[in-house]
Amino acid sequence: MKFKAYCLVGILLLAGFFAHAQSEDEADELARRERYERLIEEGKAKLKYEGKNPQVSMVVGRALYQIGKPEEAIPYLEEAIREPNVKTMIDAWAMDFLGKIHYRKGDYDQAKKYLKTARSLNATKNATYDIQATLMLFGFDEKFDTWQTFETDHIIFHIENPEPLGDVAKYIAERTKAFEEIQAFFGAKLPKKIDFFIWSDQLDGYRFLKQTPGFVLSEACLIHGFLFQPPGFGFSELLADYAVPEGVGKPSKFIRTGMRVYFDQTHRNRVKSAKKAIKESGAEQPVNVRKLWQQPEGVNENVLENVAGAFVEILIEKGGEKSFLKLLGDPTYEAAKTIYGDQLNAWIADIEKRLNPAKSRE
């Protein structure tokens, strides 16, 4: 009875896979992982001593995926759909996750087969919603039938309408070069090519994706962007997650925002851009880098983006690549003090002096 009740809780707990926003609360993340691990432990024990059980196999497989063990999840999910009992909901969820796993491996045909079969079951409202959302994210929905695809050594570009781009070959070459330069910094090992979807209309993208194009799903090597974003958009975030996996899910808005700006390949003057953003915001208080780092919530996004970009430029160009990669593993101010020593506060003082206008003398 204990596992039966826990299994039902597990189904509800796991139903939100591929939620598009990660928690910034490390304690919550740890608590979730502990719950998944408990589900796995009790589920495996039940399967060992009581024999086959599709529901338990499905929950164990999904929990394994959630803690980053997709390969180990496959046999449990396959076992869940192998049993011929009437279990439509179990089959739908198991095939949903098998589709996600095969997509992550670059096995697109198998991924599409699982996901479309799962959708056709129309098992439950939640399952069908999640499956349809995944089909849309992965470009398997009929919406993408008219999109054009351009494949390079590392990226598969899916472009809704290439016409506004003019020289498509140049557009792709710029982004390919940006990827190669950013990858030279991170040296990440990816499980498959990056699927890069480029929408013509952000509002249209929101209507289908339920979020505005301009986001990264690192676990799927997937980017949804839109026309005329900077050439480096999305690459640093995705590559950082594979190069420094211990940093995934940790509170890091200031550093990761700055990283995205630094690697956007626009080569703009970041201090000048930060000054402009501060002026346009009408901020009356001087910029406090430490506060932005530790309490970024509620800050003007344009100010945060540009100040963080200017500061990350200092961290990388003065502190070096190895130190910055180490910081990504624990991107807190406290960890940075250990990594950079006394230089850190000196750099903060320097950037604040450059960004904040000198006080006028009476």
Percent of the chain with pLDDT over 70: 89
What does the mean pLDDT of the chain come to?
A: 90
The count of other CB atoms within 10 Å of the CB of residue 279 is 11
Among 243, 242, 274, smallest CA distance to 258 is for 274
Q: Is pLDDT at 15 greater than 60 in this prediction?
A: no
Please, which residues have CB within 8 angstroms of residue 152's CB and are 6 or more apart in sequence? 172, 176
Tell me what pLDDT residue 23 has.
42
Contact (Cβ atoms closer than 8 angstroms) between residue 100 and residue 66: no
Q: Where are the domains of the chain?
A: 2-137, 147-243, 253-355
Domain 2-137 homologous superfamily, CATH: Tetratricopeptide repeat domain (1.25.40.10)
* Per-residue b or e along 200-217, where b marks 16 or more CB atoms closer than 10 Å to that residue's CB: beeeebeebbeeebebbb
Residue with tokens 């002026």: 279
pLDDT tens digits for range 142-190: 999 999 999 999 999 999 999 999 999 999 999 999 999 999 999 999 9
Return the pLDDT at 86: 62
> What whole-number distance in Å separates Cα of residue 20 and Cα of residue 152?
27
Give residue 128's pLDDT. Answer: 94
Of 309, 299, 143, 301, residue with least CA distance to 224: 143
Question: 109-129, pLDDT tens digit by residue?
Answer: 999 999 999 999 998 899 999
Q: pTM score, two decimals?
A: 0.87
For 37-91, write each residue's pLDDT tens digit. Answer: 998 999 999 999 988 889 999 999 999 999 989 999 999 999 999 877 666 899 9
pLDDT at 361: 38
pLDDT at 4: 52
**Residue 317 token pair:** 């160009």
Residue 5 has pLDDT above 80, yes or no: no
pLDDT for res 358: 66
